[in-house]
Amino acid sequence: MSGGQGVAEGDQSDSARNRRAKEAHEQNLDAAHKELRQRDAEGEDMSQYRVNPRTYKIEKKAVADKKKKTVKEGLGDLASAAERDHEVQMARADLYKLAKYAIKLHDMLKTVSEAEGIEGWQQAKITKAADYISSVYHALDYDMKFAESNSTANVLTRAKDVVESNYTAKLAERVYKTLKKELM
């Protein structure tokens, strides 16, 4: 497999797939908003409802429920929060390792000619890794930019998490772009 062609074709199909997915998402969201407006026009009080951007269903907004809840966090809630924090740290460690190995592979491939090439399974693994990182980046990026705050509670719990995620996503994107350039 020639290094440049496989990656370029994969990028084009990923780009087209991402574009189609985004278009489908926007169409589903528009249809749900249209239904919400229609129900409001028919006389229903829809001021307490919103469209869930993940399920496209009309749901009741959480209004002042936080004030009613005076129950303190239990041990389960604290464990869940600690687990989320742990997952972020694990993801950051994995991304660091990924970036380190990606740079080393990038340097190794500088000495490999197109005539020598690399084995097909090696190219497939690199492409799959790039696709996985790209998918995570785009999902987090979308959630942070377009989703409503109630539906992204796990992603936007703290400003610190947002900064860490942006750092991680930017690092993954830089690694992907560098690999893409060198493999072409």
Q: Supply the angle between the helices 120-146 and 3-41 in degrees, to the nearest 10.
A: 30
Which tokens in the block code for residue 119? 């084995």
> What's the mean pLDDT in 93-120?
91
Query: With bands split at pLDDT 50, 70 and 90, how would you rate the model's confidence at 79?
Result: low
Distance CA 172, CA 63 (A): 38
DSSP string for residues in 87-98: HHHHHHHHHHHH
> What's the mean pLDDT in 21-37?
81
pLDDT for 12 beyond 80: no
Query: With bands split at pLDDT 50, 70 and 90, how would you rate the model's confidence at 122?
Result: very high
H or E segment to which residue 100 belongs = helix 75-109
Taking the CA atoms of the chain, what radius of gyration do you get in angstroms?
Answer: 22
Count of domains observed in the chain: 1
What is the three-class DSSP state of 69? coil
pLDDT for 150 beyond 70: no
Q: Domain limits at 91?
A: 3-183
Q: Are 1 and 123 in contact (CB under 8 A)?
A: yes
**Sign (positive or negative) of CA dihedral 141, 145, 151, 152:** positive
Q: Are 164 and 92 in contact (CB under 8 A)?
A: yes
What is the three-class DSSP state of 86? helix
User: Which pLDDT value is given to residue 104?
Assistant: 93
Q: What percent of the chain has pLDDT over 90?
A: 19
Distance CA 22, CA 146 (A): 11
Largest CA distance in the chain: 71
Number of Cβ within 10 Å of residue 84's Cβ equals: 14
